[in-house]
Amino acid sequence: MANAVTRHVLSKVNSLPSLPPRDYCQNGPGPRLGHDFGFNHILWVYSGRRGVHCWVCDPKARRLTNEQRSSIAEYFRVYKGNENSQKKVSLTSSALHPFLLRSYKVLEEFFEGNLLSNQSLFSTEERYEKILEMIPDESITSELRGKWQDNKKSSISKENINVDRWKHVKKILKSGKPKAQGLGKCVEEIVFSFSYPRLDMETIKPVISDICILTLHLTYLLLVLGFKHMNHLLKAPFCIHPKTGRVCVPIDPNRCEEFDPTAVPTLSKVLEEINMGGLGTDDDEWDRTSLGKSIRFFRSSFLQPLLKSCKEEIENSYNAKLQHSKTSLTW
């Protein structure tokens, strides 16, 4: 879902393509909230600019302590550096966690098929040095740097030079030679650094995570997964972004590839539509505006199932107490 925003917003700014929408919707952090943690009532809301906010409204999620919320964030955490860190991702375990392995299969294909060439990650010395900084072995980086500097006048196209240089990196790091021992994970770390969600674990900040396609210009797409602290507020659906004036509409994750943030209505447009239709007080007034589809989706796909679940929980709790009372009276 978040990659849909990436496609429409970032691709226009930086010619950056998105991850395959369906693949990422099935393997990214968002779906794992449901698959791995059992949450059912999840609502994705466009931030009104370039972000996507995620509401998790299951009763058990709302009752989580700050420590438990932090643990969930830690589960998804891979990006542990900052813009000034040479190594932004550190994969310390001998094997990737199953969740990360699933994600990596999608990210690797995207990285090699799109990011390498479209972002020209190895086309200039300034750019490939950013990647060499992630390899903690001077002998290897010197070897790669020397080879690439010798080929400066090569007739290889810019597109091919990015692919070829990435192959050089993978070949050396995966070679198994003594100087490359323990560096096999660097390949995965580089891929994750450029295409995996970065989690902001600082408790003083309300946003605990942001999904990004990190370019060399440090342009990224924010994706709020939730908050560490219960006293931090999450942007509500249908509020207005103060800078763009766009309405924060819900997004259907099953149709994420169809979402276009540039087509989201603004407050002024909605007011104009209401005024054109005349003043009204009926509940269906919004159906005649460009928000109608979003409101219907919000009600049918999120609000009604959540209301039903809450009623069932209340009824079950009441019945359990009633049964307990009857048992006590019988005794």
The whole-model pTM stands at: 0.67
CB atoms within 10 A of CB 1: 25
Angle between the 158-173 and 138-150 helix axes, to the nearest 10 degrees? 150
Give yes or no for residue 157 having a pLDDT over 60: yes
User: What is the rounded average pLDDT of the residues 291-316?
Assistant: 92
Distance CA(297)–CA(5), nearest Å, equals: 19
Contacts (Cβ under 8 Å, ≥6 apart) of 189: 87, 89, 90, 91, 134
Please give the helix or strand (H or E) that residue 42 lies within, else none.
strand 42-46
Instruction: Please state, rounded to an integer, the average pLDDT across all residues of the chain.
Output: 75
pLDDT band (50, 70, 90) for residue 256? confident
Distance CA(164)–CA(168), nearest Å, equals: 6
Q: Where are the domains of the chain?
A: 103-189
Give yes or no for residue 230 having a pLDDT over 70: no
Bridging pattern class, strands 52-56 and 223-224: parallel
pLDDT band (50, 70, 90) for residue 91? confident
Query: Dihedral, CA atoms, 183, 188, 193, 194, nearest 10 degrees?
Result: 130
Paired residues of 266 in beta bridges: 246
pLDDT band (50, 70, 90) for residue 6? very low
Structure confidence at residue 244 (pLDDT): 92
Burial class (CB in 10 A: 0-12, 13-18, 19+), 99: middle
Q: Which amino acid is at 223?
A: L
User: What is the rounded average pLDDT of the residues 10-36?
Assistant: 55
- What's the full length of the chain, in residues? 331
Structure confidence at residue 111 (pLDDT): 92
Most confident of 171-180, 308-317, 321-330: 308-317
Distance CA(166)–CA(108), nearest Å, equals: 12
Count of alpha carbons within 13 angstroms of residue 272, beta-carbon side? 6
Give yes or no for residue 272 having a pLDDT over 50: yes
Reading the block at residue 12, the tokens are: 């226009």
Distance CA(313)–CA(202), nearest Å, equals: 34
Distance CA(281)–CA(270), nearest Å, equals: 16
Give yes or no for residue 241 having a pLDDT over 80: yes
Bridging pattern class, strands 209-210 and 223-224: unpaired
pLDDT band (50, 70, 90) for residue 69? confident
